[in-house]
Amino acid sequence: MKDILGLVLSARAKRGDIRKNLALQKLPSVSLSLNIPGYPKSDKTIAVFFATVLVQLKRYLKAQRIFLDEIKSLSQTDEAGDFFIVPLTVDSSLKHSVERVKEICQSFEGEHPLGRLIDVDITDRNGQAVSSGKMKGCFICEDRAAVQCMKEETHSKEELRDYIFNAIEQYLNKDTEKSVCRRLTTLATQAMLYEISLAPKPGAVDRLNCGSHEDMDYFTFLNSSAVISSYFNELATAGYCFNASKDQILPTIRMIGLEMEEQMFKATGSVNTQKGIIFLFGLTLFHAAWVIAQIGYFDLEIFIENLKQSTRGLVANELPTPSMEPAGGTTHGEICAQRYGLQLGGGIRREVEQGLPTVISYGLNVLKEHVIAQDVWLKEIDSKEPLMRTLLSLMSVNNDTNILFRKGPEQLEKVKSLALAVLKESGAEAREKKYRHLVGYCLKEHISPGGSSDLLAVTILIYFIELEFPSKPSAQSSKANTVASYEF
């Protein structure tokens, strides 16, 4: 133990030398270290926490217009733990007194949830430590000074370390939750906007025209998208933190979804622009976040399996069958199921209950194939071609209840075959001609394949999530085990 103490003290002494060396340049410096009792003073978790705090500190100082001379910064881990030191820029050292910088750094410590672990020290241009004279509180007993508890040996090193490590872990978990959910929110918004903007789309609203719609245009969709996107984080967070019984999954998603629908109708003057998106994105964001929370990455198989389990019985419980008496005031989906049976008229409920077979086989696989074949990244301007092909592929098989409800099964089959004909055409010019014919046909017949547009949007979303949260190679080999152990 004596040896360790000696090593820690010598590491601290070396830090003093580093400060003195920086003072030779006559610049004040800022350093960050953590107050970890006992030994070792750093490990993998602490290092991640330190890196997180460092980013936060730099941002905090920048927001106060205090700039650091990063080229002269030094970052190291020694026996005394993780350490970072950097001089202020010449300009910042002239504009801010060291006392003011110390005050700001103390505010940073004070506002941080784990501020009592954080030491931000300031050294003036002569290499002298700038002290505020304020005592740090004890980590465990909030109302006592840390030195007092140390003197009286109120807590054992083990107790303190357990408490601190637990707090750091919780903090980092929360931090991960926030960043995962924020990222999922961004991807969902991006996917939704890609789908709406893709143009020209057969019969549907896009950024160039209104398709077969008279009651909505691109701006109606922008209005409802803005409203809907403000709930994506809530949906993702609900999935990330979910720990109730599985029969509560749908009600949890629907509680948020119903509010989204109300707000959508308010934003569009009672026009249904994206009810399908609300349903599909609600389920997808919730389940994707849930999978990532459980295993640390996105796994399509587990995602689909969970989705199937949580929506089991959706069709039987919520859609009427042809033998039932006609029910008044039902939705398009319900009327389609009653008129044409579940095979043809099961709509979006059937698609999710079966684990998104159309989206995966005719959407995601086609999108991946075309993105890879053309070596284009979807964020590039050339993304139109893979997206367009994916939409056509979805349209060629999807029993779109939007078409079925308004136009019946014959028109549905006609649109499916026209979409397939475009896909099968190998000549670029002939394909373009057939595509224009499909667009023209939908316009003439007032057909809008809105259901396929929704499937395209969710295809793009799942594609983005897979790219953003890939499984690690080592984790992939134990995939079978993961699936088996991941039970509701």
Distance CA(203)–CA(392), nearest Å, equals 12
Q: How far is the CB of 152 from Zn ion (least distance, A)?
A: 8
CB of 166 to Zn ion, least distance (A): 16
Closest distance to Zn ion from the beta carbon of 41 (Å): 19
Instruction: Find the shortest distance in angstroms from Cβ 160 to Zn ion.
Output: 8
Nearer to Zn ion, 120 or 138 (CB): 138
- Burial of 428: CB neighbours in 10 Å, binned 0-12, 13-18, 19+: exposed
Give residue 356's region: left, alpha or beta (phi > 0; psi -120 to 50).
left
Looking at the Cβ atoms of 26 and 134, the one nearer to Zn ion is 134
Please state the closest distance from residue 174 (CB atom) to Zn ion, in A.
Answer: 24
- Give residues in contact with Zn ion (CB under 5 A): 138, 140-141, 149, 154
Q: Which residue, 77 or 154, has its beta carbon nearer to Zn ion?
A: 154
| In the complex, minimum distance from the CB of residue 138 to Zn ion, in angstroms, rounded to a whole number | 3
Q: Quick one: 130 or 140, whose CB is closer to Zn ion?
A: 140
Pick 51 or 147: Cβ nearer Zn ion = 147
In the complex with Zn ion, the residue whose CB is nearer, 116 or 287, is 116
Q: At its nearest, how many Å lie between Zn ion and the CB of residue 276?
A: 56
Q: Which is nearer to Zn ion, 109 or 195 (CB)?
A: 109
Which sign, positive or negative, has the C-alpha torsion 258, 259, 263, 264? negative
